[in-house]
Structure 1
Amino acid sequence: MKICIFGAGAIGGYMGVKLAQAGADVSLVARGPHLAAMQEKGLTLIEESGESTVKVTASDNPSDLGPQDYVIVTLKAHSVPPVVDKMQPLIGENTTIVSGVNGVPWWYFHKIGGPLEGTRLSTVDPGNAQWDGFGPDRVLGCVVYPAAEVSEPGTIKHIEGNRFSLGEPDGSKSDRALALSKALASAGLKAPVRPRLRDEIWVKLWGNLSFNPISALTHATLDVLCTDPGTRAVARGMMVEAQEIAEKLGVKFPIDVDRRIDGGAAVGAHRTSMLQDLDAGRPMEIDALLGSVHELGKVTQTPTPTIDTVLALTKLRAKTAGLYA
């Protein structure tokens, strides 16, 4: 089994080290100083149990790596459409694209059934780059739960979590899903195959679509924005609107809104990924986490006044920082 991780930053690098340690035939696509460090010294993973370094096959040119059985995409959502053409050398006749990207996935309406079957989302797949360039039949969904960071080029610091939930768009327990689950499990990672992966997508998105933009606008950490009465009310309003959309699409939420917000508060003084990107001058995942839900509101004819307001403010904040095109 040949596995390529495309976008081997914090999460992709963490997965790559674990797979390499288990003896998997894994390769990594990265760039810049991080790639140079991996090529020169190997990839180092710092965990609570200690530090380890593995030699890895890493390149910025997919043509060096050839066709794969699985290509696991761990880029930021907005970074994927521009590199679909570059990824083609990795894709053979039976290659599976594992979409480990935050937010509403581009394949969301593939094999969902009903009148919205095949609907395409311009916010996460402008120009249908992924739908046409990968093909939705190749996709295997993945919800990423671990937290990690690149502490320096060539070094990944694992913070918490080791679960990567997998799921077919049609909910089946396919051979390809089970085979990848087994490979990840052999590397010490949890990789359950879920029949209702979209439910998990929404529970994670529920927090991301509200906490991330509010933190970017206020610079508050999770414990503060989830307990301050004003920002908690804004987050709650956004989540209620999102829940109405999701339930129209058949999603079942295992917890209620207030418990989800309390869960965010319990994380403590955490700076969300969108706030970290803003401070670091990196493009922010506005369309995947928030614009996509606004678009789904139109698709399902669901009013989203709170989401629309926060989206407009967050877009302008990003534009003034030169971080949104």
Structure 2
Amino acid sequence: MRYIIIGAGAVGGAIGGRLAEAGHEVALVARGAHYEALRTHGLRLMTSEGTRTHRLPTVDGPAALGELRPDDVLVLAVKTQDSEAALEAWGPAPVAGGGTAAERLPLVCAQNGVESPRIALRRFRRVYGVCVWLPATLVEPGAVSAAGAPLTGILHLGRHPHGTDETARRIAADLEKAHFEAPVVPDVARWQYAKLLGNLANAIEAVSGVLTSEEGLALFARVRAEGEAVLAAADIAYTGEEEQKKARGNKIRFEPFDGSERGGGSSWQSLDRGTGTIEADYLNGEIVLLGRLHGVPTPLNELLQRLANTFARERRAAGSLPVAELVRLADEAVAFVQEERAPRP
């Protein structure tokens, strides 16, 4: 199988680079300065084993690849806010022997949140979800750092909305040979919703910096509790802490190399690069949506969604809002909702 990595940034670059190292055919899809760097200099993948450069076919869209092959696997690794545009471009791409990518090829959504597989299923017949545990950073155009060890990441995958098949098992086998653990599960959404709860911290980190203070961690606990209440009201199952810990074990440790430091997560990286967009609508915003559908107030997640989008739109510096100020705004948001819901005399 050939893997076409649509969005060869931090996660996509790490997966594509590792698959290439394991001997698999890989093509990268990127845009802007990252595309130019990959085309000119190749993908520099930095891990605890050292830095390697992979000169892989790199394109900015399906037309540059020509007719796709029946054995192609499309790996969607863009941020969720970019999914619709990517799917619109790749869905109609012709496949040798007849038909289109949307009709014939498997699409693997290796992204945060739970929305992209739902978006994809409107266009693609065969959609696979992935719960991504993969510490990776787009260091600069053309360079990706993946500092997890001994495994680069853990990628639970399965059919969306549920089930498994031989294609999932073949993809998992390839990932297992490429420094990943890739359990094939019939209930991948259960893992994705658990990851979603953890990703509710992304917006806190993006606007106020890496969560290290007691104040920040206490705020995240409140934000997560709000998310858990919403999932309970929506009757959505998710894997518990013990099951997640058992799955992770000590398989992924952050091991600095060549002076590398643990950077911020995906939302922090979006602000740091000044992309102008952020994935908060599909993380905190997912909880807000479910809360509105099921009558559960979500003032903390609403606040974080709004702040993250404002920071992205106005290109404010990542981590520039003091945690104490964020906590003050959170308390105000909760108080406002409580006042609105209080019985009137």
Change (3 A) 1:60 1:49: same
Question: What percentage of residue pairs aligned between the two structures are identical?
Answer: 28
Task: Supply the AA of the counterpart residue of 2:241.
Answer: I
Partner SS, residue 104 of structure 2? strand
Q: What's the counterpart of residue 246 of structure 1?
A: 231
Alpha-carbon shift at residue 54 of structure 1 (Å): 2.3
Q: What's the counterpart of residue 147 of structure 2?
A: 159
Change (3 A) 1:205 1:64: same
Contact 2:3 2:16 in 1 (8 A): no
Alpha-carbon shift at residue 321 of structure 1 (Å): 3.6
Q: What's the counterpart of residue 292 of structure 1?
A: 286
Change (3 A) 1:233 1:188: closer
Contact 1:8 1:29 in 2 (8 A): yes
Number of positions where the alignment pairs a residue of Structure 1 with one of Structure 2: 287
Q: What's the counterpart of residue 305 of structure 2?
A: 311
Change (3 A) 1:16 1:200: same
Structure 1 unpaired stretches of 5+? 109-124, 260-265
Q: What's the counterpart of residue 51 of structure 1?
A: 51
Q: What aligned pairs does 1:186-205 form with structure 2 within 5 A after superposition?
A: 186-205=177-196
Q: What's the counterpart of residue 117 of structure 2?
A: 107
Cα shift readout 1:296-325 (whole Å, capped 9, x = no counterpart): 2223333323322333343444444489xx
| Matching residue within 206, 209, 215 for 1:220 | 209
Alpha-carbon shift at residue 196 of structure 1 (Å): 2.4
CA distance in 2, matches of 1:140, 1:105: 12
CA distance in 2, matches of 1:54, 1:85: 28
Of 159-168 and 247-256, more deviation after overlay is shown by 247-256
Partner SS, residue 241 of structure 2? coil
Cα shift readout 1:248-277 (whole Å, capped 9, x = no counterpart): 333144128xx9xxxxxx989753332332
CA distance in 2, matches of 1:314, 1:86: 28
CA distance in 2, matches of 1:296, 1:285: 17
Contact 1:47 1:158 in 2 (8 A): yes
Cα shift readout 1:23-82 (whole Å, capped 9, x = no counterpart): 212211112332223223332212111222222111113122232531101111101112
Contact 1:104 1:293 in 2 (8 A): no
Cα shift readout 1:133-159 (whole Å, capped 9, x = no counterpart): x23x32100111112223333222212
Contact 1:223 1:269 in 2 (8 A): no
CA distance in 2, matches of 1:18, 1:199: 26
Q: What aligned pairs does 1:163-174 form with structure 2 within 5 A after superposition?
A: 163-174=154-165
Normalising by structure 1, report the TM-score. Answer: 0.78
Change (3 A) 1:237 1:174: same
Q: What's the counterpart of residue 236 of structure 1?
A: 221
Contact 1:223 1:270 in 2 (8 A): no
Task: Supply the AA of the counterpart residue of 1:57.
Answer: P
CA distance in 2, matches of 1:244, 1:304: 9
Q: What's the counterpart of residue 132 of structure 2?
A: 144
Cα shift readout 1:267-298 (whole Å, capped 9, x = no counterpart): 89753332332233221111111112211222
Change (3 A) 1:107 1:20: closer
Is residue 80 from structure 1 mapped to residue 69 from structure 2 by the alignment? Answer: no
Structure 2 unpaired stretches of 5+? 95-100, 246-252, 255-260, 318-345
